[in-house]
Chains A and B, each alone.
Chain A
Amino acid sequence: MATAEATRQSRRRAILGRLAIPLLAIFTALVVASLAMVVSGTDPIKAYLALGEGAFGSQVARVETLIKATPFLLAGLGIALAFRGGLFNIGVEGQLFVGSAVTVFIGFSVELPAVIHIPLALLGGMIGGAVWAAIPGYLKARNGAHEVITTIMFNFIALRIISWTIGVDGPLRAPRTVAPETPAVFESARLPILIPDSRLHAGVIIAVFAAFVVYWLLWRTVAGFELRTVGANPSAARYAGINVEFNIVRTMALSGALAGLGGGIQVLGLAPYNFTTGFNVGLGFDSIAVAVLGSIHPFGVALAALLFGAMDAGARLMQLRTKVPIDIVTIVQGLILAFVAADQIIRRLYRIRAETEEGPVNLSELWGGES
């Protein structure tokens, strides 16, 4: 049928159009960062080749990339889900912390068969993250307190409470240790390793599976329809009889659960299988970039998480080979976010016309616009 063919073609063009901005943003960020390298006297091509080799050049490299991408994917999915619901969840960092702490607690306090222990520990982490996110959600639904402010505050609260629990004489503090850390979780709570003698744990599969679940939830369920409608137009949602307040709390809880799952997987999947104060600091914030770069679409987030994972994995080899500091990766990541968020720069630069249909995430709108 001609019309079906036309629909397919226009859909293909739409997908290409949606990919164009992120890809060009990545490219531009790499070019700009290479200028910094040239100024500091290194060859950017050499550096990027080393970065690529460090991320994909060997099995060890590829495993590291996947391991590093896993928490980005889960936290990024949480942020993307909240964005779809019209909420800017900056509290993923704190929700991840709470999730890890709860998972670790379940992991080291009881010994159970692995088939029960692992799901129970992860579920605990999800609930921890969900509760930690639902409170700001409730404050917004009830009193209109803006979630950007409250989730930032909740990050601090989470950090301080957990510092206390693993501090001197804290309830989760491992006995007879110098550093503030929890005991390691029991063997029975550790995620199975997928490739023998590697660090590749089953959390990677859980994360990819989560991406499909989020996709299916958003576009194939009644709850997803409500979530998206509240996000796209809360007034129309109310008109359609959707309970907007309930949906805000539910969306935050789901978002926090994904973050909590990400945190839990980090402690159950990677040695030393415990939780310390320096644990994954900044991951929740980097994941905002992952979600935005992934156009807040679950599959886009998966690609973006892979890229960020690869950059983190490859950075060390780059530094080793070319003396370019690891920090350049952070610069690239920051530039990518800047270019995606300020997509007008990219449009101007590459003369891409504004989209007439669904636009990209508008961060400023979520922050100050009508909601």
Chain B
Amino acid sequence: MLFWQDPQFGDRMITLMAALVLVLQITMVAQRWLVTNIRAFAIQSFLLACIANTIAYYNGATHIYIAAALTLMFKAILLPVILQRLVSRIEIRQEIEPFVNVPLSVIISGFLTLLAYVVAEPLQTQAALPGVAGLGRNTLPVAIALFLIGFFMMINRRKAVTQVLALLSLENGLFLAAISLTYGMPLIVELGIFFDVLVAAMILAILVYRIRETFDSMDVSRLSRLKG
């Protein structure tokens, strides 16, 4: 047996990639530069695709390959390219001011991770399975952490573009949870969520452009001026 065929090796690789995914999420919280944020998101999605691939490889589950390929295509390549073009078109490069300052947000993210662990712990012990079937099960806390931190980022950011990014990373968390718990939802549901998010991202992108045209700013808090 070659060493990469050993499920233990696969487990290590998945664990490692999951940790990197989490680190990238926190990097996104800490980074002010939009372009870096988008790239971090791209790498994160790429790693997710890799995790899905690994699980698919060891379990021989074909439909996860499809989900992984879709993730790679849309979230790791297409969306980042679109967002990057959007950013260069509206000529902003920096998230000026999040509501909570960076060190504190980073530390809050740390706490959210801890919370995710507490929430996931009972689920994890219940679902402990031996061998290949248990592969990737331990990424559940990471998935929940991605979700929570993504949510926090949506609350914390002012710019619509960064909110889109936060939403996307939140969805990454859902995806990870899905593959870690059930080896993927039924393909059709997966596709549904996928295109839902994609379309949402597109609409938001257009909206962002419009908001800027109208208000000369992307600050979402200014939308409150719309009410009569």
Do A and B belong to a common assembly? no
Using CB atoms and an 8 Å cutoff, list the residues of chain B in contact with chain A.
none
